Amino acid sequence: MAQQTIFVRASTGTYPVAIGRENLHRLHQFLAKGELSGSVFVVSSPRVWRLWGRQLLLGLRGHVAGTILFDDAERAKNLQTVETVCRQLVRAGAERESVIVALGGGVVGDVAGFVAASFMRGVRLVHVPTTLVAQVDSSIGGKTGVNLPEGKNLIGSFHQPQVVVSDPQVLSTLPARHFRSGLFEAIKYGVVADRALFTFLETSLADVIAQKPSAIELVIGRCATAKASVVQRDERETGLRQILNFGHTIGHALEAATDYELFLHGEAVGWGMLAATHIGMRLRKISGGDANRIFRLIGKVGGLPDLSEVEPGRVLRHLRADKKTRYGRLRWVLPRQIARAESGVKVPDTLVRQALEELAEIREQPLPTK
């Protein structure tokens, strides 16, 4: 597959998402096209920089005024890191016309995005996502932010990038577990928005996991298109955009209940999608046939950490806490069929408990790992 460009309409203007091999080497072209003429500051993590920093510098033809690295562990996604990065920017001479290039996964993107949104009341931002999650999801749509001890992503703002430059080749160094974790987010797009993507994942999963260029490029392109189409119709998540939270209600609670240590985000979403599909079946929102297709595809990706260490009571407590921080409303997204989901569904606590018990049953019959 050749180069793909997907345009995202936002209130601040339209920006391109460019997907293609060798894009990292051509980064200067995207900056030139976007008339991004200010001094360029790269924000990344030591690990990503070690792997891809040289290529990025070559791609930018050396036009980099400063490089700021921070540890991109989820626990470092906080206000302290934002302050540290901002102070380093000042000391390195960044000013209002500077451009921040975020090179990394979702953590780097969310932190660098929030820095770009707030530094000098806002500077321009370019995303160069390096994980599957970041290429299919977090680099598109303008959500930026950090965590508080009280919960994830509670501080943040919307700040759209000038351009997103994805190069699937950078995924070659991603640990296999992180790659699979990203696949669960890709499945999410299939379930809520794109039947052809879902079918493709059913038939060609092995090629995608092997990162066969045509397969991985198709998946990134279709996910980016689905995300763009949803966020441009609902930039600030007042309605439609909520469907992208499919699998995330229980997913977030699972992450919080295990102190963000047991699951990668996508894995928690994998369990969350299984739970929401169970609930959807109980509420007769989705047919058994479609529900089984979802169960099977998630099982085929496999590798979900088992839930034996997760106490259902803790998960329910976190769901309740989540409800409090969201104005007493838990936004359940349930699948109706492949490529259609319904958001804002009220789910009785008893059903949630039942779903958690269903998850425990799945635990006893481990999902296949291939």
Question: Which residues have CB under 8 Å from 132's CB, separation 6+?
Answer: 171, 174, 178, 179, 181, 182, 183, 185, 186, 220
Q: How far is the CB of 74 from ligand NAD (least distance, A)?
A: 6
CB–CB of 48/70 below 8 Å? no
Instruction: Tell me: does residue 258 bind ligand NAD (CB under 6 A).
Output: no
- Matching residue, tokens 């496999």: 302
For ligand NAD, the binding residue among 143, 159, 248, 278 (CB under 6 A) is: 143
| Nearest alpha carbon to residue 17 among 217, 184, 253, 170 | 217
Q: How far is the CB of 127 from ligand NAD (least distance, A)?
A: 10
- The catalytic residue among 227, 285, 293, 300 is 227
DSSP state of 287: -
Site string for ligand NAD, 161-200 (x = CB under 6 A): ---------x--xx---x----------------------
Question: Which residues have CB under 8 Å from 32's CB, separation 6+?
Answer: none
- 139 or 277: CB nearest ligand NAD: 139
For ligand NAD, the binding residue among 16, 77, 162, 189 (CB under 6 A) is: 77
* Residue 143 appears among annotated catalytic residues: yes
**Cα 215 versus chain centre, distance:** 19
* Residue 245 appears among annotated catalytic residues: yes
Which stretches of the chain are assigned E, i.e. beta strand?
4-10, 13-19, 40-44, 66-69, 99-104, 124-129, 143-148, 151-158, 163-166, 332-337, 340-345
Site string for ligand NAD, 206-225 (x = CB under 6 A): --------------------
Instruction: Tell me: does residue 290 bind ligand NAD (CB under 6 A).
Output: no
Site string for ligand NAD, 34-53 (x = CB under 6 A): -----------x-xx--x--
- The catalytic residue among 143, 159, 180, 188 is 143
- The catalytic residue among 124, 217, 222, 245 is 245
Instruction: Tell me: does residue 300 bind ligand NAD (CB under 6 A).
Output: no
Instruction: Tell me: does residue 265 bind ligand NAD (CB under 6 A).
Output: yes
Three-state DSSP state, 62: coil
* Residue 324 appears among annotated catalytic residues: no
In 42-194, which residue ranges form alpha helices assigned H by DSSP? 46-59, 79-91, 106-118, 132-133, 176-192
Q: How far apart, in whole angstroms, are the C-alpha atoms of residue 24 and residue 268?
A: 30
- Expressed in angstroms, the distance from the first to the final Cα of the chain is 26
- The catalytic residue among 77, 127, 180, 265 is 265
* Residue 25 appears among annotated catalytic residues: no
The dihedral over CA atoms of 116, 117, 122, 125, expressed in degrees to the nearest 10, equals 40
Instruction: Tell me: does residue 137 bind ligand NAD (CB under 6 A).
Output: yes
For ligand NAD, the binding residue among 130, 160, 162, 277 (CB under 6 A) is: 130
CB–CB of 325/270 below 8 Å? no
Instruction: Tell me: does residue 133 bind ligand NAD (CB under 6 A).
Output: yes
Q: How far apart, in whole angstroms, are the C-alpha atoms of residue 351 and residue 80?
A: 39
Q: How far apart, in whole angstroms, are the C-alpha atoms of residue 108 and residue 126?
A: 12
Q: Number of residues in contact with ligand NAD, rule: CB under 6 A?
A: 27
Instruction: Tell me: does residue 342 bind ligand NAD (CB under 6 A).
Output: no
- 107 or 197: CB nearest ligand NAD: 107
How many other CB atoms are found less than 10 A from the CB of residue 77? Answer: 23
Chain residue at closest Cβ approach to ligand NAD:
106
Instruction: Tell me: does residue 74 bind ligand NAD (CB under 6 A).
Output: yes
Question: Which residues have CB under 8 Å from 181's CB, separation 6+?
Answer: 132, 133, 264, 265, 266, 267, 270
Region of 57-65, 131-139, 294-302, 334-342 interacting with ligand NAD (CB under 6 A)? 131-139
* Residues near ligand NAD (CB under 6 A): 45, 47-48, 51, 72, 74, 77, 104-108, 110, 130-131, 133-134, 137-138, 141, 143, 153, 170, 173-174, 178, 265
Which of the residues are catalytic?
121, 143, 185, 227, 237, 241, 245, 248, 252, 265
